[in-house]
Amino acid sequence: MNNGLPVRTVAELIDYAKKNPGKLSNGSSGKRHDRAPGRGACFKAMTGTEMVHVPYKGSAQAINDLISAISR
């Protein structure tokens, strides 16, 4: 999770996501990339939130984007 977000718990994350639909993103990469979008979709369905899925070809770019606050 990006430290720039005003949340510290999963409950706060869900509340923030509901108040800011489509402003958060979740990324996936690596060998299990094909399963990651399903996990994100499951989280969104269970919590009633809307996030943008960002697929990465590898973990290096995903980590760089997370550190630089591009991916939230």
- Residue 6 carries which DSSP code? S
Q: Give the residue with greater pLDDT, 60 vs 15.
A: 15
Q: Which residue has the tokens 């591009």?
A: 70
Query: Residue 35: pLDDT band by 50, 70, 90 thresholds?
Result: low
Quickly count: other Cβ atoms within 10 Å of residue 72's Cβ: 19
- Scanning the structure block, which residue is given the tokens 């994350």? 13
Rounded to a whole number of angstroms, the CA Rg of the chain reads 12
pLDDT tens digits, 41-69: 889 999 999 998 888 887 788 788 877 76
Read off the pLDDT band of 13 (50, 70, 90): very high
- Please state the pTM of the whole predicted model: 0.71
* CA distance linking residue 63 with residue 70, whole number of Å: 10
